[in-house]
Amino acid sequence: MLKFYCAPWSRASTVFWLLEELGQPYEVELVDIRAPGGVPESYRAIQPNKKVPAIEHDGTVVTERAAICIYLADAFPEAGLAPPIGDIRRSAYLTRLVYCDSVFDPAVAAKAQGWEYRSNSFSFGLFEDMVNNVEKLLSKQRYAVGDSFTAADTQLAGGINFTMNILRVLPALPVFRDYVARATDRPAYKRYVEKEQELAKKVTPPPFAGRG
């Protein structure tokens, strides 16, 4: 059994999308990260910082988005969302997945908070360098890993979509808009959006800036 610990409109959203792409049955466990009393301490047994997302698959717990994506796409190879080990595209796939968490997301957060810092001050480097890198990548190819959609696109396109259209931190460059339109024009994405909207009705409507 696959259980998904999540909150609507949070960092769990892109994994929510990935789960729909996999086409496997899963159970949603709502974690109200914005509840007045906070997340129950018991949730630390799943996620030590009481954050989302997390998954539990047949007794195995996985946290951190990049790890979750790698695990799920490899666990269900029939979905065709990950180049297998030995495939020349595997290194680019892993790089893009980890980049979303280790560079893209923290660089955007720092920009949104108005931080000023030197490139060497933080491991994720400058916001401007990140934007230029992603723009260059998507100017050369249709998806995060060449011309085919992978699990990395749920993370990269999901991240660009949120930070460009909702947070309005990422510049709305044509290459970003075109990429998001391509990546989200999928039945699985539409199913995910519908399910997340239904889930959001069970919690206090959150500010978009408050992400898990």
d(CA 37, CA 178): 41
pLDDT tier at 142 (50, 70, 90 boundaries)? very high
Residue 126 in this model has a pLDDT that exceeds 60: yes
Nearest to 57 by CA among 42, 44, 46: 46
Separation of CA 111 from chain center: 18
Tell me the mean pLDDT in the region 69-93. Answer: 98
Separation of CA 63 from chain center: 12
pLDDT tier at 210 (50, 70, 90 boundaries)? very low
Please enumerate in sequence order all residues whose Cβ is within 8 A of that of 210, keeping only pairs 6 or more positions apart, or say none. Answer: 33, 34
- The per-residue pLDDT for 203 is 83
Segments in 23-150 forming alpha helices (H): 65-75, 90-99, 105-112, 127-140
Place of tokens 């799943």: 46
Contact 69, 152 (CB under 8 A): yes
CATH superfamily ID and name for 2-80+189-200: Glutaredoxin (3.40.30.10)
Q: Tell me the CA end-to-end span of the chain in Å, nearest whole number.
A: 24
Nearest to 65 by CA among 14, 130, 25: 14
What is this structure's pTM? 0.94
In angstroms, how far apart are the furthest CA atoms of the chain? 48
CATH no., domain 90-186: 1.20.1050.10
- The per-residue pLDDT for 204 is 66
Residue 211 in this model has a pLDDT that exceeds 50: no
pLDDT tier at 98 (50, 70, 90 boundaries)? very high
- The per-residue pLDDT for 31 is 96
Place of tokens 């796409």: 73
What percentage of the chain has pLDDT greater than the value 70?
Answer: 96
Domain range annotation of the chain: 2-80+189-200, 90-186
Tell me the mean pLDDT in the region 56-80. Answer: 98
Tell me the mean pLDDT in the region 81-102. Answer: 98
- Asked if the domains 2-80+189-200 and 90-186 are classified in one and the same CATH topology, the answer is no
Residue 166 in this model has a pLDDT that exceeds 70: yes
Contact 212, 11 (CB under 8 A): yes
Contact 93, 82 (CB under 8 A): yes
Q: Which residues of 116-135 are buried (b: 16+ CB within 10 A; e: fewer)?
A: eeeeeeeebbbbeebbeebb
Q: What DSSP string runs through 166-179?
A: TS--S---HHHHHH
pLDDT tier at 94 (50, 70, 90 boundaries)? very high
Least confident of 33-42, 52-61, 83-92, 123-132: 33-42
- Average per-residue pLDDT in the chain? 95
Q: Which residue did the predictor score with more confidence, 181 or 202? A: 181
